[in-house]
Structure 1
Amino acid sequence: MLFKQMRYFVSVVNHNSFTEAAAEEFISQSAISQQIRALEEELGVALFVRQHRKFSLTPAGQHFYQESQQLLTQLDRVVKETKMIGEDPETQLRVGYLRVYGGQELHQAIAEFNEIYPEIAINIINGTHEELYQELRQNTVDIVLSDQRRAFSEEYVNFELIQPKTFVEISARNPLSQQDKTEINELAQLPCILITSKEQQSHEENFYRDTLGFSGKFLFAENLAEGRLMVAGNQGFLPIESVGTLTPTEISIRRIPLEKNHQAVVRNYCAFWKKERTNYFIEEFAAILKKLIITNEEVF
């Protein structure tokens, strides 16, 4: 059986016409009919019920059509990726992640992916949600690990990873640190420390105030290490999501669950990438990352 015969068959079904399928495949109608009859002979079953100039699919034909579509899609992807690797020996996977991300699974996923596919160079950047979104739109990254802040778009693969609880990291000298959990309104008098670039400060502040309900003053840090130093100095609290396994806090910092109206504050974290740019390596990296997050979540 030839993939070409399978492609002809799918084209005929898609167009519901031998004539239109032949035109699309740049062969004659008689030739495409002969190829499909040869396919039926090889399979030993009828794929079509022919009635004068009309036809319909047999149950076997319906099954073969559905399976053929999937196989041909996979074949096209394999061919595309093979050409890409052959033409570009410096094949890259460009990964973006949130600047506030503090889990270990991303590092583990990169190491595991590199061990399996050492020929793929991995480039990594970090940023705020909006910065990563713009990088993805401009095709300067292939996949990003980020929180969901807008409705899912049909233009992207929205690969859900985890819905983590939100914690706050707070100085052990602050009385709130002695609680088993804290409500958002209990933090109103304490500055909220956000990890963001200067350009995105107002955007991040608006999101945490208007969407999540933080009502106090905001302070800003360029990276997670700087933010935790500010926490250790009792300058404010740092909101952080448990996307995977978080590193232990310093002795001067407590990490406690955050609630709103006595309900845990839960976010949605995903791996995002453009559907038009999807390939095996992006999908494989996302699968490895999710496997590690789920495995470690079950352990702890």
Structure 2
Amino acid sequence: MNFTQLRCFIKAVDNSSFTLAARELNFTQPAISKNIRDLENELEITLIIREHHRITLTKGGRYFYKIARNMVDDMDNTTEFLKSQKGRIGSSLRIGVCEIPLEEEILPAVLRKLRAYDSNLDIQFINVEETSISEILNHHVDICLVSYDTVAAIQNIQFVKLITGKFLVACPVNSALSKQQMITLSDLQKQRVFLFDPNSTLNFKTQNDLISGIGVKHIKFVRDFFKMKLYVKAGWGYGVIPNFAKDYDKTAIKYVTLDYPAISPYGIAYINSSVQDMDVAKVINTFKRVCVHVLE
């Protein structure tokens, strides 16, 4: 039994004619007759009584017509649904963010591209500062923008790198260190330095070595980038930040590379079970293309 046989049977019954059924299905009349005959042979029952210029359903035919109609309708509806999903990302996308400047820079372009793929996609943003791991594991977010060090210890979490990490020094414009091509730890040892709080999402495993190299008595910890930016703009000192946390408004701050080994990259974290209904590959590729453009 196949759907061609079922469609031939249904169309013949609906039109009370093999000829009209053949016309609707773009078949020949003998083809309609053969498909119905093969169906009857397989079922070992007569479905249609063939009379001159008319057809009549047997009792078994009437029962089977209802079953066949439901089967074909279900298949047609399923096919239409699957076609409608082609090119879609999913019904919704919850993105965990740390509210750093890079996110503000890239997310508008990401949103435009994702909506171009899927105009019905609902996108929500959830602040995951200090709670990124629990938000991912508890399925409160589908993907999360974080540094790798934040999620590295959790086996179930997948991570895709967007940006290679390095430290920058946020300098007040026209300050002494802002004129250098590169800044060393020794340059910072006599300066007031702002670092992210060790408990923040932007904390790094290498930060302890950084603290030792600068000297803890010169360091003030801040909870977020906004506060650090205010201190630096006010000329109170220098901020050491990952490159993906720099502000793209360079009017009051100049960023100089710190002579220091590479740090944890920044990217997308997720667990497989949270994205079963989402085209995560398309989402990740969209973020990658936007990041490449922004960093050019």
Q: TM-score, normalised by structure 2?
A: 0.58
Question: Structure 2 counterpart of 1:126, which letter?
Answer: N
Does the CA contact (< 8 Å) of 1:195 and 1:221 recur in 2?
yes
1:271 to 268, 277, 292: 268
Deviation at 1:290, TM superposition (A): 0.9
Deviations 1:62-81 (A, max 9, x none): xxxxxxxxxxxxxxxx99x9
The farther-off stretch of 241-250 and 139-148 is: 241-250
Does 1:215 pair with 2:215? yes
Deviations 1:162-217 (A, max 9, x none): 21332111112431111111013322333333456xx936x867856415445334
Aligned residue number for residue 73 of structure 2? none
Deviation at 1:249, TM superposition (A): 1.0
The farther-off stretch of 187-196 and 227-236 is: 187-196
Deviation at 1:258, TM superposition (A): 0.9
Seen in structure 2, the aligned counterparts of structure 1 residues 274 and 180 have a Cα distance that, compared at 3 Å, is same
Does the CA contact (< 8 Å) of 1:93 and 1:282 recur in 2?
no
Summarize the alignment of residues 1-300 of structure 1 with structure 2, pairs less than 5 Å apart: 91-102=91-102, 104-128=105-129, 130-149=130-149, 151=152, 153-194=154-195, 200=199, 207=205, 209-210=207-208, 212-213=210-211, 215-216=215-216, 217-221=218-222, 223-243=224-244, 247-250=248-251, 252-260=252-260, 264-279=261-276, 280-297=278-295, 300=296
Higher-Rg member (1/2)? 2
Deviation at 1:247, TM superposition (A): 1.5
Does the CA contact (< 8 Å) of 1:244 and 1:296 recur in 2?
no
Seen in structure 2, the aligned counterparts of structure 1 residues 296 and 206 have a Cα distance that, compared at 3 Å, is closer
**Hey, what's the Cα distance between the residues in 2 that align with 1:211 and 1:118?**
47
Deviation at 1:281, TM superposition (A): 3.5
Partner of 2:102: helix, strand, or coil? Answer: coil
Seen in structure 2, the aligned counterparts of structure 1 residues 180 and 127 have a Cα distance that, compared at 3 Å, is farther
Aligned residue number for residue 32 of structure 1? none
Seen in structure 2, the aligned counterparts of structure 1 residues 102 and 161 have a Cα distance that, compared at 3 Å, is closer
**Hey, what's the Cα distance between the residues in 2 that align with 1:124 and 1:296?**
21
Partner of 1:200: helix, strand, or coil? Answer: coil
Deviation at 1:101, TM superposition (A): 4.2
Deviation at 1:120, TM superposition (A): 1.8
Partner of 1:268: helix, strand, or coil? Answer: strand
**Hey, what's the Cα distance between the residues in 1 that align with 2:121 and 2:93?**
7
**Hey, what's the Cα distance between the residues in 1 that align with 2:290 and 2:132?**
22
**Hey, what's the Cα distance between the residues in 2 that align with 1:154 and 1:205?**
19
Does the CA contact (< 8 Å) of 1:105 and 1:244 recur in 2?
no
Partner of 1:122: helix, strand, or coil? Answer: strand
**Hey, what's the Cα distance between the residues in 2 that align with 1:145 and 1:158?**
10
Deviation at 1:270, TM superposition (A): 2.1
Question: Structure 1 counterpart of 2:208, which letter?
Answer: D
Aligned residue number for residue 18 of structure 1? none
Partner of 1:267: helix, strand, or coil? Answer: strand
Does the CA contact (< 8 Å) of 1:258 and 1:265 recur in 2?
no
**Hey, what's the Cα distance between the residues in 1 that align with 2:268 and 2:244?**
12
Does the CA contact (< 8 Å) of 1:95 and 1:122 recur in 2?
yes
Seen in structure 2, the aligned counterparts of structure 1 residues 275 and 152 have a Cα distance that, compared at 3 Å, is farther
Q: How many residue pairs end up in the alignment? A: 207
Partner of 1:235: helix, strand, or coil? Answer: coil
Seen in structure 2, the aligned counterparts of structure 1 residues 282 and 206 have a Cα distance that, compared at 3 Å, is closer
Q: TM-score, normalised by structure 1?
A: 0.57
Seen in structure 2, the aligned counterparts of structure 1 residues 247 and 205 have a Cα distance that, compared at 3 Å, is closer
Seen in structure 2, the aligned counterparts of structure 1 residues 108 and 212 have a Cα distance that, compared at 3 Å, is farther
The CA RMSD over aligned residues, in Å, is 3.6
Seen in structure 2, the aligned counterparts of structure 1 residues 205 and 225 have a Cα distance that, compared at 3 Å, is closer
**Hey, what's the Cα distance between the residues in 2 that align with 1:123 and 1:211?**
37
Partner of 2:240: helix, strand, or coil? Answer: strand
Does the CA contact (< 8 Å) of 2:100 and 2:245 recur in 1?
no
Seen in structure 2, the aligned counterparts of structure 1 residues 245 and 169 have a Cα distance that, compared at 3 Å, is closer
Seen in structure 2, the aligned counterparts of structure 1 residues 244 and 110 have a Cα distance that, compared at 3 Å, is farther
Seen in structure 2, the aligned counterparts of structure 1 residues 96 and 193 have a Cα distance that, compared at 3 Å, is farther
Q: Which runs of 5+ in 2 are unaligned?
A: 3-77
